[in-house]
Amino acid sequence: MSISQKTDLFEQAFEHFIALELRAYLSYTRKKSPLCFWRTTEGYEVDFIIENEIAIEIKSSEKLSEKHFKSLKYLIEENKLKKYYLISQDPIPAKYGEIIALSWEQFLKQLWDGDVLS
């Protein structure tokens, strides 16, 4: 059985997949960093915050657009962290101001190579 990529269920599964990779990395590297999220009363949300230094937003989209960056941009205005990532299925890496947009494959390679949490 496969899940259609245009559904909420796929987006939840995609986000969960990245969450499991982040938890596995933190565990295997014996980092005691909590894996949290960030949400405002206005409804802006970023999926993962690590060590109050790294923000990671997950989108299951195959092509990113301006709307996908809203929560991270709001977080940048509210809190100054070291790194901001937008992870998706878009294969084209890009940098939008302080936000680094990567495909999930590129992000996981950087994570396991030790380049995300340094």
98-117 confidence digits (pLDDT tens): 999 999 999 999 999 999 98
Over the stretch 26-84, which tens digit does the pLDDT of each residue have?
999 998 888 999 998 888 999 999 988 999 999 999 999 999 999 999 999 988 899 99
How far is it, in rounded angstroms, from Cα 4 to Cα 7? 6
Read off the pLDDT of each residue in 5-33 and give the average, rounded to a whole number: 91
Cα 28 from Cα 14, distance rounded (Å): 21
The crossing angle, in degrees rounded to 10, of helices 8-28 and 104-112 is: 10
Full-model pTM: 0.92
CB 87 within 8 A of CB 116: no
For the chain, which residues make up each domain, given as ranges?
A: 8-112
Interacting residues of 59 by C-beta distance below 8 A, sequence separation 6+: 11, 68, 86, 87, 88
What is residue 1's predicted lDDT score, i.e. its pLDDT? 57
